[in-house]
A and B are shown apart, each in its own frame.
Chain A
Amino acid sequence: MEVVDIRPLLAPAISFACSGLVFVYGKNRLWRNFWSLSAAVIKLGVVMSMLPGALRGDVYVYKLVDFTPGIGLGFRADALGMLFALVSSTLWVLTIIYAIGYMEPEHEKSRFFGFFALSLSCTVGIAFAENLLTMFLFYEALTIATYPLVIHEETPEAFRAGRKYLIHTLTGGAFVLIATIVTFQIAGTLTLSKPGILDASMGTQTLTWLFVALIAGFGVKSAIMPLHGWLPEAMVAPTPVSALLHAVAVVKAGSFGILRTIYNVFGIALLKELGLTNWLAWIAAFTIIAASFIALFQDHLKRRLAYSTISQLSYIVLGASMLNPAAATAAIAHIANQAFAKITMFFVAGAIQRTTGKTHIHEFQGIGYRMPWTMGAFTVAALSFIGVPLFAGFVTKWYLALGTLEAGAWPFLIVLIASSLLNAGYWLPIVYMAYFKVPPGTKMHVEEARPTLLIPTLICAAYVILLGTTAQVPLMPFSVARAAVRFVFGM
């Protein structure tokens, strides 16, 4: 049932207002932190307040303004959008706390927190976009808003990364725009409120090109190989940016776009008929394996994390292209599962860097004794990625495996198993290094990260376990994913 409600507009508006306040009053540390934190908490509250309704099957809609005749700027909080909004808003609160601690010695803090809030505004805008044009609008705005964060350090390396980032994402945006125009031309509408707005009568060739354009456009941010080049470079950004944007908000915006393309623009029935998702699944499988291989050889922790992100994001794409409920559940739930585990790892990387100055894995010998809590959190996240039961990653793997079998696509099951092994291959050595390779003759004393860094890390790690153990509890992200799947498959 559709309910007219201002809250889907309010959520991005809060972050937007926050960024304005931070730009204006950001010189003062207290005001800056106050505005950022309170906006994050209020926004989370607004999103949470829509959760019971979304689970009941209510959809909150709000039409803002007719942008051009016929196409409005509209907001709509359905279950799929709710999940993405919920994850990004929850993590915004934690990341703000972390960032307040982490950014202490940095320059240009008001610029940083201002654009940070702006990016989060765009993310929720993407989540709640009612039509493709609104989504495109926020998708492009997200690119612009994150650019100052990527080049925050203002070093030549950062500028290079920023340039690469812009070239990739703006080209992707251009593809999305073209696809949006074509969709409007052939379907006469851009709404994302239906399970598919296109049908086979529109010509196989046009539809194929349209699908390629949409997947290429969103695939850039989702870092599908070979469109992933910007992501490892973008790791020069400060850690909170890498954590929230390059593990959650920006990259998931791309994955979310792919989900919308498959479920709401084309629709399951049409894609089954066209058979376009078969090759998409193969590209995703290739990305999963290839990125994991590259990750094996990265010594810089953040770069290893980046390649792991590339690999994990393709789980979502793989799940979506199986076109069956179990795999779809895995794809949608993985938005949350991957996000919490990956952000935990980024928080750990940042905490280690700020506390000990170490950034490379070979320097981590014995660090488990120096920073026991931090490395404990890391271990939890690592186990989740490997897919050990009781951790978040297991839920995804289980449903994804079910989905591949249901689709009769057993090669992908092998890909999943290989990926688990590879994950073990690049995460466990770090854990081993931290706990079991103490350099002889050194006395280890506990020197934990400061509380603003440690507490968000531990909360995220705890949430990873919570996600893995309470999948059936209502109001947890998994139940929202189930609700989204029910809508998509008309169950």
Chain B
Amino acid sequence: MVSWPQWLSLVALVPLVGAVTTPAVSRGRSRVAALWALGVMTVTSFAALMLILRVAREGPFSYPFGGWKSPIGIEFRFDEFSASIGIVCLVGWLAVLYSQRYVEHALEEPRIPYYYTLLLLNFTGMIGFAVTGDLFNLFVFMEILSLSSYALVAISGERTAEMAGFKYLIMGAISSLMVLFSIGLLYASTGSLNMADISSRIGDGAVGPIPLAMALAGLTVGFMVKAALFPLHIWLPDAHAIAPSPVSAILSGLVVKTGLIGILRVYQIYYGAKVLDLSSLNTMLVWLGAISIVMGAFFAIFQEDIKMMLAYSTISNIGYIVMGFGLASPYSVIGGSVHIFNHALIKATLFLAAGCLIHKTGYRTLYDLRGVGKAMPLTTAALSVGAISIVGIPPTAGFLCKWYIALGAFEAGQPFFGVALIFGALFIFVYYIRMVNSFYFRQPVHPEFLEVGEAPASMLAPVLILASLCLVMGILGRIPLSFIEPAAHRLLAPLGG
């Protein structure tokens, strides 16, 4: 059952079909739409699980659509990096469950079925992006993902939300254009769209370095915008803070990672081809990563709005991952790849828990939320676990990645970045301690919410599941680390590492 080849096509098709049929199936009843979306995600998750088990057992594999072998046909290809769809399904499933009660409060009734359509389209985009082996499909799925994200940010219809969505749209459209342009350039110069094929064709030396370098630059910058790496992050804080909380969790935990997977795909093409020396690109990425860590933390310190703070913290964490990739040593690439997964867990915990607080109390600044720890002990405990985890205090999930990336920095002979990473993490702790202080140790400003109690079970359960995973993945960290290890070694093998 595990090696049934159709799983690979189904994992992207099921959410796509589910998305477009949601309005028809629900006919305006929001509860039916929620159940339908949940069912679709359950099937998708099962397919994803089968794929991950198969890749763990037999390594990367492909699925040629219609039996047309690559490079002529369209190919889905599943490698260890594609296993990021596992976290998409997990967080996606929990976010759908969480959304049910959240959106009936936050959105107008007629919009709700479309909300689920957009969510499922968003998941389709992410899953398709991770499993496709073809550059054009990569672009198509990226656009599905991006368009649904813009709409999700603006879905509440409020003016600020529309503004944030618009800002996101402008930046996103420019980046998509750059990616499309680069794909066109690669197609024009190699005559292929299949990534593995392009890599081997440019490796033959048939293509001059200038178009390759231009395509590389376009792809990198395009994906950097999607990943919100400093200085291309300006769209992120508003979009992530203003979106409904489950959407924030998805955007911050998952959608930005698409840009990172894109960068990994670019590496796979170019490292394998061995025609360009990427060390100056890597140096740039390492520096941008380090600056992102510090700038993200710096801006977060001045935020009063809890979701704004979390949004800036995403920028820091993207900085970790990009730094890990740029260092290009086995440990750091493993650490960075696993942080894609772990950060998604942690950030989803934080955003969903923050959503519970906002949903129940109606307040969203640290000042207004003072003393909320007494009213909602489980939610705030989950938030604290998330905070400890994101700072990288052992034995939580965040620690292992920090350990691996820093170890990679020393391994690569660049100890400065290891030190920068660890002290950057300290900086991040400053604002999380502010949050914990205000929730637990300050006298409440609005004593009336001491009566509110915890959020409903369908919202609380996802938060608690994610928070406990933050702890469990710290203890069992070697499972993802050893899972991704062969992929990282394969990626770096052409460098002679």
A interface with B by C-beta (< 8 Å): 65-69, 73, 133, 136-137, 140-141, 144, 147-148, 151, 154, 159, 163, 166, 170-171, 174, 177-178, 181-182, 184-185
Max chain B Cβ within 10 angstroms of own Cβ: one of A68, A69, A159? A68
Query: In the complex, are the beta carbons of B393 and A140 less than 8 A apart?
Result: yes
In the bound complex, how far is the Cα of B433 from the Cα of A148, in angstroms?
11
Q: List 14 A-B contacts (CB under 8 A).
A: A65-B475, A65-B476, A67-B475, A68-B404, A69-B478, A69-B481, A73-B395, A144-B388, A151-B437, A163-B433, A170-B429, A171-B423, A181-B407, A185-B410
Write the B463-497 contact mask toward A (1 if CB under 8 angstroms, else 0).
00000000000011110011000000000000000
In the bound complex, how far is the Cα of B440 from the Cα of A148, in angstroms?
9
A163 closest partner in B (C-beta): B433
User: Does B324 interact with chain A (Cβ within 8 Å)?
Assistant: no
Query: In the complex, are the beta carbons of A174 and B442 less than 8 A apart?
Result: no
Q: Given contacts A68-B400, A140-B394, A181-B418, are A170 and B426 in contact (CB under 8 A)?
A: yes
In the bound complex, how far is the Cα of B388 from the Cα of A174, in angstroms?
14
Query: In the complex, are the beta carbons of B410 and A182 less than 8 A apart?
Result: yes
User: Does B425 interact with chain A (Cβ within 8 Å)?
Assistant: yes
A contact face: mostly helix, strand, loop, or mixed: helix
B404 closest partner in A (C-beta): A68
Query: In the complex, are the beta carbons of B410 and A148 less than 8 A apart?
Result: no
User: Does B406 interact with chain A (Cβ within 8 Å)?
Assistant: yes
Q: Given contacts A68-B477, A154-B442, are A159 and B437 in contact (CB under 8 A)?
A: yes
In the bound complex, how far is the Cα of B294 from the Cα of A483, in angstroms?
48
Query: In the complex, are the beta carbons of A67 and B395 less than 8 A apart?
Result: yes
Query: In the complex, are the beta carbons of B403 and A181 less than 8 A apart?
Result: yes
User: Does B419 interact with chain A (Cβ within 8 Å)?
Assistant: yes
Query: In the complex, are the beta carbons of B406 and A178 less than 8 A apart?
Result: yes
Q: Which residues of B contact A170 (CB under 8 A)?
A: 426, 429
Write the B411-443 contact mask toward A (1 if CB under 8 angstroms, else 0).
100010011001101100100010001001111
Q: Which residues of A contact B400 (CB under 8 A)?
A: 67-68
Contact among B393, B407, B437, B481 with A185 in the assembled complex (CB-CB below 8 Å)? B407
In the bound complex, how far is the Cα of B440 from the Cα of A151, in angstroms?
11
Contact among A147, A163, A166, A178 with B418 in the assembled complex (CB-CB below 8 Å)? A178
In the bound complex, how far is the Cα of B151 from the Cα of A295, in angstroms?
65
In the bound complex, how far is the Cα of B414 from the Cα of A182, in angstroms?
12
Q: Which residues of A contact B425 (CB under 8 A)?
A: 174
Known A133-B394, A144-B388, A151-B441; 10 more pairs at CB < 8 Å: A67-B400, A68-B477, A68-B478, A136-B394, A147-B433, A148-B441, A166-B429, A178-B406, A182-B415, A185-B411
B interface with A by C-beta (< 8 Å): 388, 393-395, 400, 403-404, 406-407, 410-411, 415, 418-419, 422-423, 425-426, 429, 433, 437, 440-443, 475-478, 481-482
Query: In the complex, are the beta carbons of B393 and A144 less than 8 A apart?
Result: yes
Chain A min CB distance to B238 (Å):
30
In the bound complex, how far is the Cα of B402 from the Cα of A137, in angstroms?
13
Max chain A Cβ within 10 angstroms of own Cβ: one of B407, B410, B411, B441? B441
A209 closest partner in B (C-beta): B415
In the bound complex, how far is the Cα of B177 from the Cα of A424, in angstroms?
79
Contact among B410, B422, B481 with A68 in the assembled complex (CB-CB below 8 Å)? B481
Query: In the complex, are the beta carbons of A181 and B410 less than 8 A apart?
Result: yes
Q: Which residues of A contact B482 (CB under 8 A)?
A: 69
Query: In the complex, are the beta carbons of A67 and B410 less than 8 A apart?
Result: no
Query: In the complex, are the beta carbons of B478 and A67 less than 8 A apart?
Result: yes
B440 closest partner in A (C-beta): A148
Q: Which residues of A contact B426 (CB under 8 A)?
A: 170-171, 174
Q: Which residues of A contact B478 (CB under 8 A)?
A: 66-69
Chain A min CB distance to B2 (Å):
25
In the bound complex, how far is the Cα of B403 from the Cα of A174, in angstroms?
11
Q: Which 7 A-B pairs have the closest CB atoms?
A: A137-B394, A185-B410, A174-B422, A69-B478, A140-B393, A181-B406, A181-B407
Q: Which residues of A contact B440 (CB under 8 A)?
A: 148
Chain B min CB distance to A161 (Å):
13
Q: Given contacts A68-B403, A136-B394, A141-B394, are A177 and B422 in contact (CB under 8 A)?
A: yes
Q: Which residues of B contact A159 (CB under 8 A)?
A: 437, 441
Query: In the complex, are the beta carbons of A137 and B423 less than 8 A apart?
Result: no
Q: Which residues of B contact A182 (CB under 8 A)?
A: 410, 415
In the bound complex, how far is the Cα of B208 from the Cα of A382, in angstroms?
83
Q: Which residues of B contact A163 (CB under 8 A)?
A: 433
Query: In the complex, are the beta carbons of A154 and B475 less than 8 A apart?
Result: no
B400 closest partner in A (C-beta): A68
A137 closest partner in B (C-beta): B394
Chain A min CB distance to B334 (Å):
10
In the bound complex, how far is the Cα of B419 from the Cα of A171, in angstroms?
12
Q: Which residues of B contact A181 (CB under 8 A)?
A: 403, 406-407, 410, 418
Chain A min CB distance to B308 (Å):
22
In the bound complex, how far is the Cα of B407 from the Cα of A133, in angstroms?
13
In the bound complex, how far is the Cα of B477 from the Cα of A73, in angstroms?
12
In the bound complex, how far is the Cα of B406 from the Cα of A184, in angstroms?
11
Q: Which residues of B contact A66 (CB under 8 A)?
A: 478
Chain A min CB distance to B417 (Å):
12
Q: Which residues of B contact A171 (CB under 8 A)?
A: 423, 426
In the bound complex, how far is the Cα of B420 from the Cα of A178, in angstroms?
10
Q: Which residues of B contact A68 (CB under 8 A)?
A: 400, 403-404, 477-478, 481
In the bound complex, how far is the Cα of B395 from the Cα of A67, in angstroms?
9
Max chain B Cβ within 10 angstroms of own Cβ: one of A67, A73, A140? A67
Chain B min CB distance to A159 (Å):
7
In the bound complex, how far is the Cα of B400 from the Cα of A66, in angstroms?
12
Chain B min CB distance to A484 (Å):
26
In the bound complex, how far is the Cα of B440 from the Cα of A63, in angstroms?
35
A158 closest partner in B (C-beta): B441
In the bound complex, how far is the Cα of B391 from the Cα of A174, in angstroms?
12
B474 closest partner in A (C-beta): A67
A185 closest partner in B (C-beta): B410
Q: Which residues of B contact A154 (CB under 8 A)?
A: 441-443
In the bound complex, how far is the Cα of B429 from the Cα of A136, in angstroms?
17
A67 closest partner in B (C-beta): B477
In the bound complex, how far is the Cα of B395 from the Cα of A166, in angstroms?
19
Max chain A Cβ within 10 angstroms of own Cβ: one of B403, B404, B407? B403
Q: Which residues of A contact B437 (CB under 8 A)?
A: 151, 159
In the bound complex, how far is the Cα of B477 from the Cα of A45, in angstroms?
33
B391 closest partner in A (C-beta): A170
Chain A min CB distance to B432 (Å):
11
In the bound complex, how far is the Cα of B403 from the Cα of A163, in angstroms?
25
In the bound complex, how far is the Cα of B250 from the Cα of A367, in angstroms?
65
In the bound complex, how far is the Cα of B478 from the Cα of A170, in angstroms?
25
In the bound complex, how far is the Cα of B144 from the Cα of A450, in angstroms?
72
B377 closest partner in A (C-beta): A23
In the bound complex, how far is the Cα of B423 from the Cα of A171, in angstroms?
8
Q: Which residues of A contact B476 (CB under 8 A)?
A: 65
In the bound complex, how far is the Cα of B402 from the Cα of A140, in angstroms?
14
Query: In the complex, are the beta carbons of B407 and A184 less than 8 A apart?
Result: yes
Query: In the complex, are the beta carbons of A137 and B395 less than 8 A apart?
Result: yes
B429 closest partner in A (C-beta): A170
A174 closest partner in B (C-beta): B422
Chain B min CB distance to A203 (Å):
13
In the bound complex, how far is the Cα of B388 from the Cα of A140, in angstroms?
11
Chain A min CB distance to B488 (Å):
13
Query: In the complex, are the beta carbons of A166 and B423 less than 8 A apart?
Result: no
Q: Which residues of B contact A147 (CB under 8 A)?
A: 433
Query: In the complex, are the beta carbons of B395 and A178 less than 8 A apart?
Result: no
In the bound complex, how far is the Cα of B477 from the Cα of A163, in angstroms?
31
Q: Which residues of B contact A69 (CB under 8 A)?
A: 478, 481-482
Q: Which residues of B contact A73 (CB under 8 A)?
A: 395, 475
Chain A min CB distance to B184 (Å):
42
Contact among B388, B433, B441 with A166 in the assembled complex (CB-CB below 8 Å)? B433
In the bound complex, how far is the Cα of B481 from the Cα of A22, in angstroms?
35
In the bound complex, how far is the Cα of B425 from the Cα of A77, in angstroms?
32
Q: Which residues of A contact B423 (CB under 8 A)?
A: 171, 174
Chain B min CB distance to A287 (Å):
25
Chain A min CB distance to B57 (Å):
19
In the bound complex, how far is the Cα of B442 from the Cα of A151, in angstroms?
10
B395 closest partner in A (C-beta): A137
